[in-house]
Amino acid sequence: MSHESGTRTTVAADAPSDRPPSVDVLARSLSGTGLPHPVLVDIARAAIAAGEPDSAAHRAALFRRTLLTPVVNATGVLLHTNLGRAPVAHAQNARAQTVEFDLTTGERGSRQRAVGQLFARLCGAETAMVVNNNAAAVLLVVAALAEGREVAVSRGESVEIGGAFRVPEVMEQSGARLVDVGTTNRTRLADYRRAMARPGADIAMVLKVHPSNYRIEGFVEDTPVTQLAELDVPVVADIGSGLLDANVPWLPGAPPAWLADEPAAAQTIAAGAALVTFSADKLLGGPQAGIIAGNAALVARCASHPLARALRPGGLVLAALQDLALAYLGREVTERVPFWRMVAVSVAELEARARAVVEQVGAVGGADAMRVVATDALPGAGSAPGVTMASFGVELDGDHLAALRAHATPVIARVRDDRTVLDLRSVDPSDDATLVDALRALA
């Protein structure tokens, strides 16, 4: 062979011939991508069928980008809906786990016990349970407490929250009937009393929904939970974001101003709500889940409803939630909950980090148009609409979003007035080096 080397090639996939390369040879030539062989075979087959065998490597790269990929969130939106809301670090080994096993008796135990008791403690509730998300929590509560009966909801709270969560539709799915109360902008206790006193009324509960993602201003009035609690039916408050305590005792100093309009679980229960429901992956800062906390008899009705089985979380989520609850109880929130760590970082520290990034990129030249800018970060996930958190970032002229996304560890930024902005509040400090690499690659 050696006497022939360099004069011609005999590798089928490279040979300029009329015959297309074999699917198998082409697939094997892509093994360096790390994708499994059956996937590469599909890619090779599609490339050959399209008459573009040379496109196979590009197709493999595109396929890789469709897989779940860790990214650096430099958007300044801390709970980015498209990036999985709250970032969570959770590791566990492959051992069996006491998901439904009681270590004391050696018998079958409750899946809800471990995490339920911790969240009950955190919310000041009798008990708590976990389902897959808050939409599931509301659906289950309404089905368990009001199937075939009526649920009173203020017209101002008959809302749509992100995607397909619409209060009237959830009501329909649960088998309960929605009774509209009051008006869009003002609903008083007397309106609820009137709805309950109608001839033939069959109101099983009041549902109070926090309008998480928008705000009505001006001539508005809603009925607080303290007043609703005077009614003869249970009050269920869907508080949405999962702020556990309005005093935010896990942050130093007074509660941040941007949280002023967020209802909190502990205060809502203390005000007399029979149950609260909330998401675990918004302001709570955990994995996707929904929490139902409050009156023990009502939670038990939820837990024994047939839907509960369909909506229950697995051991991975329960273990991550347990970590989270223990971090709150141990007052280690800003150390162990990434969302609150990002909130707690000082503006001065963010500015210093932005300066360091610009300096390090500048050291390789070609980054004249890069500068440190003051920015407004957002909590995101529809939490606290219209509020911002002071932040700092790095700005450069032009739209570089695609190039930043193409970096080995993709960086997700945003563009404002034809300038690309990388906000540091949503970036973990350990990722600043990745930003430097990605920005250097632009130069």
Ligand X SMILES: *Cc1c(COP(=O)(O)O)cnc(C)c1O
Enumerate binding residues for ligand X (CB under 6 A): 133-135, 161-162, 165, 209-210, 212, 238, 240-241, 279, 290, 382
- Residue among 116 and 240 whose Cβ is closer to ligand X: 240
> Closest distance between ligand X and the C-beta of residue 359, in Å?
40
- Residue among 27 and 161 whose Cβ is closer to ligand X: 161
Residue 86 exposure: Cα atoms within 13 Å on the Cβ side: 27
Token digits of residue 9 = 């090639």
Token digits of residue 390 = 């002071």
- Residue among 50 and 310 whose Cβ is closer to ligand X: 310
Query: Of 207, 196, 128, which Cα lies nearest the Cα of 165?
Result: 207
- Residue among 170 and 439 whose Cβ is closer to ligand X: 170
366 — phi, psi (to 5°)? Answer: 75, 10
- Residue among 50 and 216 whose Cβ is closer to ligand X: 216
Round to whole Å and give the CA distance between 136 and 278.
10
- Residue among 234 and 240 whose Cβ is closer to ligand X: 240
Round to whole Å and give the CA distance between 398 and 340.
32
With beta carbons less than 8 A apart as the criterion, state whether 438 and 425 touch.
no
> Closest distance between ligand X and the C-beta of residue 394, in Å?
31
- Residue among 241 and 420 whose Cβ is closer to ligand X: 241
Round to whole Å and give the CA distance between 190 and 440.
64
Q: Which residue is nearest to ligand X (CB)?
A: 240
156 — phi, psi (to 5°)? Answer: -75, -10
> Closest distance between ligand X and the C-beta of residue 240, in Å?
3
Classified as helix, coil or strand, 206 is strand
Tell me whether strands 411-412 and 414-416 are parallel, antiparallel or unpaired: unpaired
- Residue among 150 and 238 whose Cβ is closer to ligand X: 238
Query: Of 136, 132, 137, which Cα lies nearest the Cα of 317?
Result: 132
> Closest distance between ligand X and the C-beta of residue 309, in Å?
18
SS (H, E, C) 280-301: CCCCCCCCCCEEEEECHHHHHH
> Closest distance between ligand X and the C-beta of residue 159, in Å?
8
> Closest distance between ligand X and the C-beta of residue 237, in Å?
9
> Closest distance between ligand X and the C-beta of residue 179, in Å?
19
> Closest distance between ligand X and the C-beta of residue 78, in Å?
15
With beta carbons less than 8 A apart as the criterion, state whether 403 and 441 touch.
yes
Angle at 340 between CA 338 and CA 342, to 5 degrees: 70
> Closest distance between ligand X and the C-beta of residue 189, in Å?
21
For 302-329, b where at least 16 C-beta lie within 10 A, e where not — what string? bbebebbeebbbeeebbbbbbbbbebbe
Token digits of residue 387 = 């509020």
Token digits of residue 105 = 């008796």
Round to whole Å and give the CA distance between 292 and 130.
6
- Residue among 238 and 395 whose Cβ is closer to ligand X: 238
* Beta strands per DSSP E along 245-361: 275-279, 290-294
* Beta strands per DSSP E along 216-348: 235-240, 275-279, 290-294
- Residue among 174 and 212 whose Cβ is closer to ligand X: 212
> Closest distance between ligand X and the C-beta of residue 199, in Å?
32
> Closest distance between ligand X and the C-beta of residue 139, in Å?
9
- Residue among 236 and 394 whose Cβ is closer to ligand X: 236
Q: At what angle do helices 315-329 and 113-123 cross, to 10 degrees?
A: 30
Query: Of 399, 374, 367, 404, which Cα lies nearest the Cα of 389?
Result: 374
- Residue among 208 and 400 whose Cβ is closer to ligand X: 208
> Closest distance between ligand X and the C-beta of residue 197, in Å?
28
